[in-house]
Structure 1
Amino acid sequence: MSEALVATQAPEAPASGASGARQFWRRLRAQRAAMVAAGIVALLVLVALAAPLLTAIEGQDPTTYHPALVDSARGGVPIGSLGGISGEHWLGVEPQTGRDLFARLVYGARVSLGVALAATTVQVVLGVVVGVTAALGNRWVDQLLSRITEIIVAMPLIIMALALLAVVPGSFPRPVLVSLIIGFVAWGTIGKIARAATLSLKSLDYVAAARLSGWTTLRIARRELLPGLAAPVITYAALMVPNNIAIEASLSFLGVGVKPPTPSWGQMLTSADVWYQAAPQYLLLPAGALFVTVLALTVLGDGVRTALDPRAASRLRVGTGRKREAKPGAQTPGAAKPDAYAPGAQHPDGVQGAQS
């Protein structure tokens, strides 16, 4: 009987994964701003992965000091025009130390993007597990996990991260530590999203049919609920990545994030705040890289959200450029209305207009 119930009450099968991916890609390609942002993000990821190769081509590394390239009499200002830019140092050198700026910038991209992606992964895993467990558990489990989630959401992230980073021994790898702390302190919002989506999905007919057919709760969550959670979770995760990049930069700027000599964009900003007049490129390069990365990821995340949920309009209103199609039967603005009493016209009451 359960098999017959599944066959008769289950809704139509959703589109295959390949078909859904094609629809998503078609909707994403229709958004020009999102595609430009995707190209910028892909370029940044490629630069981060190819950092050893790029620095080898330049012939530099991010940690070697070049004291001969800075003017010690002037406090360590780089010698030469534009911060010491030359064929050997493509973007100049760092004040006081003479370290190569190009090498530190591309290696800093690895740290910033790596920390942000790792922290987002931790947030997604924790949030989905807690949210789905709360939605599928009994009333006591739901209440307990919901209160824990609300406490996590209410925690001030920067203050908690500062406190935890201050007590952890310095021997622990700092990028890994920053990723774990951001992930464990900031998963609350995605947990609430996963719980709400699961509560909505578990009331659908195909989930009830799977339950009546004898499937375990774990199998129902894995086979029926997680595919339905993909769209909201991926959407929010895409918007969390730029936020996590900004958090890592803030922690490094405050001196509790990634420690020297490991390069990081936030750490470079910390050292550059007193050099904005003598060596402005030392401040502008990491600040510009952070700005472009966060902006591109934000635009891409918004495009992913709109592609996954075509009913939702883009929040950014960038690159849409499409004209709204007129509804069938709608009156064109400015068009003259037909005269109901013109010769030969049909009156609403069925009386024709007088013939001239």
Structure 2
Amino acid sequence: MSEALVASPAPAADSSASGASGARQFWRRLRAQRAALVAAAVVALLVLVALAAPLLTAIEGQDPTTYHPSLVDSARGGVPVGPLGGIGADHWLGVEPQTGRDLFARLVYGARVSLGVAIAATLVQVLIAVVVGVSAALGNRWVDQVLSRTTEIIVALPLMIMSLALLAIVPGSFPRPVLVALVIGLIAWGTLAKIVRAQTLTLKQLDYVAAARLSGWSTWRIARRDLLPGLAAPLITYSALLVPMNIGVEAALSFLGVGVKPPTPSWGQMLTAADVWYQAAPQYLLLPAGALFVTVLALTVLGDGVRTALDPRAASRLRVGTGRRGEARADAGTTAGTDLPRPGTPADGTKEATA
């Protein structure tokens, strides 16, 4: 991917024009992918709902922590009173079993926690990966060896087990969403660091980087001016795929009881409490599970669309196609008009004998 992501050096005005042209090409390729546009709209809507959670719950007139014991039937174990889990004008998605807390309020506030933790963990991963990967690629042999072996150890660590261990020993007074984001970010940066190191080693071999080194530029200046712009495309692509992965990790940790603690709502925490209510109150399980599924699917599709849009060779591959049909079509296009004999010429290429 490196040769497709790096451009030749140019003056400041030309580089800005090239950057604007590259941005236009990126948006054009992204707009050509309808699935990616739909996924982007879904992600934007989810982020908007998460940011506007206080306003939405104020319009409904509820909050995520207030108990409503009168809305659950204690004689039946706390099943919500009314049809469809207590859905009504005051509670748009019904209420939570046993507690009577509003499900809509907990769902939109849970979006803030799940998305916030995933995005914060991704930022931590990207920051550590860039520092470690670039330092390993630009450092001497010993620095590269130490950082590379450390990265391999981090990659080999089991994420869930290490997260469970760290989250279990930290005092409960520490803000739990911040702690979960830090733990995920500090454990799961290894793979991205290896990608950054490999890409930086490729960029180091380019002529304009060698010219900058010979002109006396410092390592930091070369990294900031020449290498980091070339790393933007793979970082954006992989980060778009890291966010849904981190959402799943946060949900799994909350499901195991070591993630976000009540009364702070989280989609994974709601799934943990709903595992015994899937028959008596199915909406309590289906709503957070559906929200998780839609969010992870939309982010995954968007990440794949961003990867395709940032790869200039993807458009030609999509036009020609892949597999045997694409190869046959490409071969037919290259041989058309060259292998066919001219009119009046035999197939073996010899001239006909004239009378």
Whether TM-score is above 0.5 comes out as yes
The aligned counterpart of 2:349 is 349
- Which residue of structure 2 lines up, in the alignment, with residue 191 of structure 1? 193
User: How far apart are the structure 2 equivalents of 1:237 and 1:217?
Assistant: 25
Match of 1:58 in 2: 60
Alignment of structure 1 residues 1-356 onto 2, 5 Å: 11-13=8-10, 16-312=18-314, 328=333, 330=335, 345-347=344-346, 348-352=348-352
Give the letter for the 2:200 counterpart: T
Check the 8 A contact 1:302/1:314 in 2, yes or no.
no
Q: 3-state SS of the aligned residue for 1:16?
A: helix
CA pair 68-304 structure 1, distance change in 2 beyond 3 A: same
Q: Residues 161-195 of structure 1: CA distance to partner in whole angstroms, max 9, x if unpaired?
A: 00000110000000000000000000001100010
User: Cα distance 1:314–1:243, how it changes in 2: closer, same or farther (>3 A)?
Assistant: farther
CA distance in 2, matches of 1:78, 1:331: 71
Structure 1 distance, partners of 2:253, 2:52, is 26
Deviation at 1:20, TM superposition (A): 1.5
How far did residue 272 of structure 1 move? 0.1
Identical aligned residues as a percent: 78
Tell me the amino acid that sits aligned with residue 351 of structure 2: V
Residues 35-81 of structure 1: CA distance to partner in whole angstroms, max 9, x if unpaired?
A: 11000000000000000000000000000000000000000000000
Letter in 2 for 1:346: T
Q: TM-score, normalised by structure 2?
A: 0.89
Cα distance, 1:353–1:292 mapped onto 2, change above 3 Å: farther
The amino acid across from 2:106 in the alignment is R
User: Would you tell me which structure has more helix in proportion to its own residues?
Assistant: 2
Residues 20 and 329 of structure 1: CA distance in aligned 2, closer, same or farther (over 3 Å)? closer
Whether the 8 Å contact between 1:303 and 1:314 is mirrored in structure 2 is: no
Q: How far apart, in 2, do the equivalents of 1:156 and 1:221 lie?
A: 32
Structure 2, unaligned stretches of length 5 or more?
1-6
Q: Which residue of 1 aligns with 2:4?
A: none
1: CA distance, partners of 2:54 / 2:172:
26
Residue 349 of structure 1: CA displacement? Answer: 3.0
The separation in 2 between residues aligned to 1:68 and 1:280, in whole angstroms, is: 20
Match of residue 3 from structure 1: none
1:298 and 1:278 mapped to 2: Cα distance?
A: 33
Report how far residue 214 of structure 1 moved: 0.9
CA deviation map 1:250-271 (0-9, x unaligned): 0000000000000000000000
Shift of 1:352: 4.3
Aligned length: 334
CA distance in 2, matches of 1:95, 1:49: 26
Q: What residue identity is the alignment partner of 2:40?
A: A
Aligned counterparts of 1:239 and 1:299: Cα–Cα separation in 2: 9
Q: Look up the equivalent residue of 1:175 and give its one-letter code.
A: P
**Contact 1:174–1:259 (CA<8 Å) still a contact in 2?**
yes
Give, in angstroms, the shift of residue 313 of structure 1.
Answer: 7.7
The C-alpha deviation readout for 1:198-250, integer Å capped at 9, x for no partner, is 00001110000001111100000000000001111111111000000000000
Distance in 2 of aligned mates of 1:331 and 1:313: 22
CA shift at 1:314, angstroms? 12
Query: Following the alignment from structure 1 to structure 2, what is the Cα–Cα distance between the partners of residues 354 and 272?
Result: 91
Deviation at 1:312, TM superposition (A): 4.3
Gap runs ≥5 in structure 1: 1-9
**What is the RMSD computed on CA atoms of the aligned residues?**
2.4
- Write out per-residue CA displacement over residues 57-110 of structure 1, whole angstroms, 9 at most, x where no aligned residue: 000000000000000000000000000000000000000000000000000000
- Give the drift of 1:310: 3.0
For the residues of structure 2 that align with 1:147 and 1:172, how far apart are their CA atoms? 32
TM-score of the pair, normalised by structure 1: 0.89
Take 2:353 and 2:57, find their aligned partners in 1: how far apart are those partners? 85
Question: 1:111 corresponds to which letter in structure 2?
Answer: V
Taking structure 1 as reference, are residues 353 and 119 closer, same or farther at Cα in structure 2, changes over 3 Å only?
Answer: farther
**Deviation of 1:277 (Å):** 0.1
Amino acid of the structure 1 residue aligned with 2:211:
A
2:172 partner amino acid:
G
Q: Which range is displaced more, 304-313 or 180-189?
A: 304-313
Q: State the Cα distance separating 1:331 from its structure 2 match.
A: 5.6
| Preserved contact between residue 306 and residue 314 of structure 1 (Cα < 8 Å) | no
| Contact 1:77 1:96 (8 Å CA) reproduced | yes
Q: Indicate how the Cα distance of structure 1 residues 254 and 313 shifts in structure 2: closer, same or farther if over 3 A, else same.
A: farther
**1:126-153 CA distance string (max 9 Å, x none):** 0010000000000000000001000000
For 2:344, the aligned partner's letter is A
Instruction: Give the direction of change, closer, same or farther, for the CA distance of 1:353–1:158 in structure 2 (3 Å limit).
Output: farther
Distance apart, 1:354 and its partner CA? 9.8
